[in-house]
Structure 1
Amino acid sequence: MPLGSSQTKGGMYTGSYTADQDTMTFDQGKYNRIKKRDANGYTTSNVDVTTKTDAFGNAYTSAVSAKQMDTSDFLLLMLQELKLQDPTKPMDSQNMMNTQMQMSTMQTNMTLAKSMEKLVASYSQSSLSNATSLIGRNVETYDVDDRGITKAYTVTSVETIDGEIVLKGRQILYMQDIIKDKDDKVLAYDENGYIYGEDGKKTGQKIVLKDKGQVALDKDGKPVILDENNEEVKDHTYEYTGQAARVYSDELTTIPMSNVGKIFS
């Protein structure tokens, strides 16, 4: 055969191969190893075949494995088995039928698996789309804080983690009474009652709290304010509005949908 030419084996194109430059001979075994083909010209790129030799020097297949095998691979294996079978003990029709049924069942299972994957993906997308309606709303979980109060969060985003839909949100720590000054500006104070100015620093005054976020009022319904010496300030202009605002955690929390017990505005 000329150098660099192509060879056809049993009607199957086997590609080009350059013969050994020294002996000018074509090494079929070397060609098959390069092209990952068996001795009969069938591709083995996806199949690892382990062979052994019996006591009489005859080679036989001891194991076949593959990372990916499809029906064409099984068909090739069955044809190879038919070619190599013992003429005195040929495969009967029942075994042939069983092999074909196994191939058919495998193909059906593969098709069903692909359909289920598409269905799961479609369901996940639909569920994620529906869950986005929770953004900006508040949810309660089945967890409680150290005061025994059910934890609540305001949802800021929705995402999927390992196929499960989860919410991202900031925990509502407590409700804080809204106090305004004479210019209708909201008074800034922390959970301990310390008042902060527009520069973000403590003013030295303190608002008295009955509980976290709950302002104590005097007999006239005005908030009780203390100075640096813890003396009550009588002539302040702060007013209690009767309204409250949520105080949030600085950290985002991941909330599984399965842990959501209540949704509210």
Structure 2
Amino acid sequence: MAVTTINNNVTTSGNDFVYNPNSQLDKDAFMQLFLKQLEMQDPTDPMDTDKMLEQTAYLSTMEMNQNMQTTLDNLANTLQQTSSLNSISAIGKIGDTGERYINVTDNDTSKNFELYFGDDISSGKVLIKDKNGNIIREFPLEAHTKGILNFDWDLTDNNGQRVPSDTYEITAEYTSPDGKSHSTALGAYPIESIRFENGKAYAKIGSNYVPFDAIKEIYEWQG
């Protein structure tokens, strides 16, 4: 019976060579080797039937594993494409990160933040609260068209005193020209666009791009 060895990129059977540049014995290389064994076997001492069945079963297992890997790769590609489509379909809706607080440190002299107003503003106020829910500062809102408004807080409370270094919640309450009451909060903005980098989706909300998976909730603006 011919002797079979595998060494680096070359699989040998007797005096014949089957080149395998990937250094892996795939099903095609295995079939070539198997057929070469049958061709080179000694007629007076044929290959053992059990050994032949064992190698055939091995070939079937290799092919099944390869087919399974192909299926898994296709599934992964499909899921990635579906995720991309889902993120694109979110454009125009509200992306809420759930981040309602800003952090004030001893080195800060002011804090800038943005709020989204989904309806025209007739009147209203921006509320800054401490961790206990106490209102420490109010900004009046003048009439304005809907959209994202930018605010700059000098870190003083309603009495003109500098607030302690801590975290503060930002919300707003306002009335639209039709007399309806509305509210909004820090962290909720329209998703304006989606950008992909290295297969990862980023959403433009407010003036920043954030990872799409950082968005906690996506919904239509209800006011």
Q: How does the TM-score come out when normalised to structure 1?
A: 0.39
TM-score (norm: length of structure 2): 0.45
CA radius of gyration, larger in: 1
Answer 1 or 2: higher relative contact order, Cα 8 Å, separation at least 6: 2
